[in-house]
Structure 1
Amino acid sequence: MKRVASGFATGFATGLANFLCALALLAAGPASAAPAGIRQFDADSLGTLLATQKGQPFVLVLWSLDCPFCEASLRTLSKKMRADKNLRVVTLGTDTLSDPRNATLMEQRLAALGLAANAWALGAQPAEQLRYAVDRQWHGELPRSYWFGADGVGAAKSGLISARAVDRFLSRRH
């Protein structure tokens, strides 16, 4: 009888320890969780992203950490936003949030440029599926931008975003 009680106590203690460890992991959340300012973009997120702009004109720019033309485009948009507070920019990082290092680097880069307020990045679904969800005609070239009017209609553009392109957008918007 003593051996059974001892075995029960040991099993109970081990089970309790495992339960508490599992509970702590659940409380901590997934390791791939996005930083607070970056929202995860999944195959069904485009409608939500568009709705966040509430019928206002805005630029959606797709970018990557390792794309020098993306960096230049983000800098141009940042500079123009400082000059015109009504310019709305939404960023969609093509580096996946499932890599915590990418998530941190994206958040830091966007924060440094003042572009962290409306930040999204690809989620865990396959990149091809997410590209298709954004635009069936887009094959992954970067930078890629979409210039949306208040009516919600967007025009796609691949390549470097110039100050002149932003100025044209702003002049049509007013």
Structure 2
Amino acid sequence: MAIAAGNVLKAFEPQSVEQIAASHKGKPFVVLVWSMDCEFCQHSLDVLSKARSANPGFDIVTITTDPLSDAALSQMVKKRLSGIDLLADAWSFGELAPERLRYAIDPRWRGEKPRSYWYDAQGQRIAYSGVITPSLIEKMR
């Protein structure tokens, strides 16, 4: 896709996990896996957005399980993320079956959302299932 960086949803495919980790090498960051129909995900997005406003160096990657192939839904995702300044590093499930894409993220993950992965500067990650709160961010960062 040849749209300006920061204004596009990237297709999440199995190799995307490595691409995301490589692009943040040496820095801590969080990956939030979410969907438009997940109410707890919406709250988590808002909390992450506020945390980044207070800490501009806080790197946040979002992966929606909503399919990129659904143009109307993709527009809703872009609007939601741009409204809270989280569209810069945003991914949406690509062409493969959702189960394969979930497995690529984490073989132990069963699809519950929100799901977050907290990476340290060495690339080690901790998985967390549940709503993101300010106290969780403090604990995980």
User: Aligned to 2:118, which of 135, 138, 147?
Assistant: 147
User: Aligned to 2:77, which of 106, 109, 115?
Assistant: 106
User: Aligned to 1:95, which of 61, 66, 74?
Assistant: 66
Ranges of 4+ aligned residues in structure 1 off by more than 3 Å? none
Amino acid at match of 2:101: L
1:118 corresponds in structure 2 to: 89
Unmatched runs of 5 consecutive residues or more in structure 1: 1-28, 30-34
Amino acid at match of 1:166: I
CA contact (8 A) 2:7 2:87 kept: no
Higher relative contact order (CA 8 A, sep 6+): 2
1:81 corresponds in structure 2 to: 52
Is the partner of 1:65 in helix, strand or coil? coil
TM-score (norm 2): 0.93
1:161 aligns with 2:128: no
Provide the rounded CA distance (Å) in 2 between the counterparts of 1:155 and 1:69.
19
More strand per residue: 1 or 2?
2
Please tell me whether Structure 1 or Structure 2 has the larger radius of gyration of its CA atoms.
1
The within-5 A match list for 1:59-74 is 59-74=30-45
More helix per residue: 1 or 2?
1
Give me the identity figure in percent.
39
Deviations 1:63-109 (A, max 9, x none): 00000000000000000000011111000011010100111111110
The root-mean-square deviation of aligned C-alpha atoms, in Å, is 1.4
Amino acid at match of 1:69: F
